[in-house]
Each structure stands twice: as structure tokens, then as C-alpha cells.
Amino acid sequence: MPYDHVKLERTDWGLAWLTISRPQALNALNRQVLADLDAALDEIATDPYLGVLAVTGDGEKAFVAGADIGEIKELDALSGRDFARRGQALYDRLADLPVPVIAAVNGYALGGGTELALACHLRVASEKAVLGLPEVTLGVIPGYGGTQRLPRLIGPGRALELILTGRQVKAPEALALGLVNRMVPPEELRQAVEDLARTILARGPLAVRAALEAVRGGMQCSLAEGLRLEAQLFGLLCASEDMAEGTAAFLEKRKADFKGR
């Protein structure tokens, strides 16, 4: 289905590209972009052939330059809270997808843009990417999960430094902070994301989904509960054809041919 501000392109090998496209405003998220993203996620969530989703921004300059500042300016206490909750729910949908989601950070990823990248499971950045949570410079705080996901990813000390100052970091520093997984030249970004996707897609599909579930679930509970979840998922995988195939392939010194069963 076509959208005004989102492009959804599927490959025939399990990867789909979700591109946010409002280039005249550096892909800033206004209400229409958020609505399009929500609708695209409906489509993505029911796609049985999807194995990895890649998220990026249209054009050379920006991933997403944040929420639309013109719209933020009009918010009051109640609408501001609702707006934040709606954006958080949307990002949660992305984070809760059963397949890996990779952010291809192709340029400015500020405010809601960095928060979008944080809601993805992995982040590959172009060397010219700039990330940051500049909300305090506008008199607000991150409202799409930044105060929660950034400290969980890079630790509270480093996260607070970025959140309290609003300082923007270039890709090399983002890499050193652990804010992105990899950094590549701009012209290699798409290929790097596709290579990463292909690597993941060659693994046991049930195992990949279970690993996501274990890590995601474990981040939200105690260590003891997380270990229980891990053991349950491990046990379930032991009953899968993929596990029989993966272990047999290793012992027979051949490549595994996983079926996702």
C-alpha cells in the first residue's frame, strides 16, 4: 500500500526497507509521518515472509531530524502527554516486532530520530551521521523513549551527559559510546545493512526470534526471571527441526539448511 511519507520495499530474500520520507523537513516526524509509520507497521507485522526490517531516512542528509518542532510548539500539558504516549506506543511496536530491526542511520538522527534508532534492535551508521537528544535545548525532554532506552543501551552516566547537555555526537563518537553497532562510509551503508541482514537470515530463524525475545524480555525483569525465560526458550528450540538440522550440519561438516520449523 502506498503512503505519503513512508516507503516500504520488500526484497525477495526476507529483508524489507522502511524509508521515512519527508525530505523537505529532513524527515521530521509530523502527525502524518507518524500515521503512515503506524499503518506501515500494520502491514509489516502481518508479513509472514519478513525476516529482517531495515529502517532509514530518505535523501543524503537525514535519518530523522526529530519530531516536528512546529507541532511540538502547539502542545499543552494534556496533548503533550498524549502525543508522547502515542509516539512511545508506535516505537514500542517497532521494538516488539518478532524479527530483527536494523536502523541504517544515514545522516542527522536527532531527538525523535535518535529515539527511533534506539527502538531498533541494531544500528549501523554512516560516517556522516549525527546523533543526539537535543530536547533540553527546546525546553522539553525526550518524549519517545530516549530517557529510558539510551541509559539501558549505553549506561546512565553517559546517557545523562547527552540528555542533560543536548550535545550532538558524530558517528565515530556514537560508535565509541556504543550508541551504534557499526560505522561505514555513506556509500556503503545500504550494503553493510544488507550484509548484516543476510548473516542473520542465514541463522536458524526460530533461534533468531527466540534470542530477540530472551534479550527483550530479560531487559524488563529480574535476572532470575530472565534466566527462566532463557531456559524456557532454549527448551522450546530443542524441540525444533532447526535445532536437529543445525547440530547435525555441524557434526556432518556441512552448511545448515534451516526451515524455520
Q: Which residue is nearest to ligand CO8 (CB)?
A: 111
- Nearest CA among 235, 236, 258 for reference residue 246: 258
Return the residue of 36, 58, 135, 194 that touches ligand CO8, per CB under 6 A. 135
Q: Is 72 or 197 the residue whose CB approaches ligand CO8 more closely?
A: 72
**143-182 mask for ligand CO8 (x: CB under 6 A)?**
xx--------------------------------------
User: What is the helix (H) or strand (E) element at residue 18, kind and residue range?
Assistant: strand 15-20
Q: Which residues contact 28 (CB under 8 A, 6 or more apart)?
A: 22, 64, 65, 66, 67, 68, 69, 112
Number of residues that bind ligand CO8 (CB under 6 A): 25
The question of whether 115 is a catalytic residue gets the answer yes
Q: Is 33 or 101 the residue whose CB approaches ligand CO8 more closely?
A: 33
Burial of 37 (C-beta count, 10 Å sphere; 0-12/13-18/19+): buried
Nearest distance from C-beta of residue 222 to ligand CO8, angstroms: 30
With contacts defined by CB under 6 A, name the span among 11-19, 25-33, 40-48, 218-226 that binds ligand CO8.
Answer: 25-33
Return the residue of 7, 21, 25, 43 that touches ligand CO8, per CB under 6 A. 25
Give the gyration radius of the chain's Cα atoms: 19
**Residue 83 near ligand CO8 by CB under 6 A:** yes
Continuous H helices in 56-145: 69-73, 77-95, 112-119
Q: Is 26 or 41 the residue whose CB approaches ligand CO8 more closely?
A: 26
Do 163 and 206 form a contact (C-beta atoms < 8 A)? no
**Residue 136 near ligand CO8 by CB under 6 A:** no
**Residue 17 near ligand CO8 by CB under 6 A:** no
Return the residue of 20, 28, 193, 200 that touches ligand CO8, per CB under 6 A. 28
The question of whether 245 is a catalytic residue gets the answer no
With contacts defined by CB under 6 A, name the span among 5-13, 110-118, 207-215, 237-245 that binds ligand CO8.
Answer: 110-118
Question: Rounded distance, CA 167 to CA 161, Å?
Answer: 8
- Nearest CA among 72, 70, 91 for reference residue 24: 70
105 three-state secondary structure: strand
Catalytic residue among 127, 135, 173, 230: 135
Which cell is 68 given? Answer: 516536528
Q: Which residues pair with 126 in a beta bridge?
A: 184
**242-261 mask for ligand CO8 (x: CB under 6 A)?**
--------------------
Q: Is 27 or 240 the residue whose CB approaches ligand CO8 more closely?
A: 27
DSSP label at 259? -
Question: Rounded distance, CA 259 to CA 77, Å?
Answer: 51
Contact set with ligand CO8 (CB under 6 A)? 25-26, 28, 65-70, 72, 75, 80, 83-84, 87, 108, 110-112, 134-135, 138, 142-144
Catalytic residue numbers read 115, 135
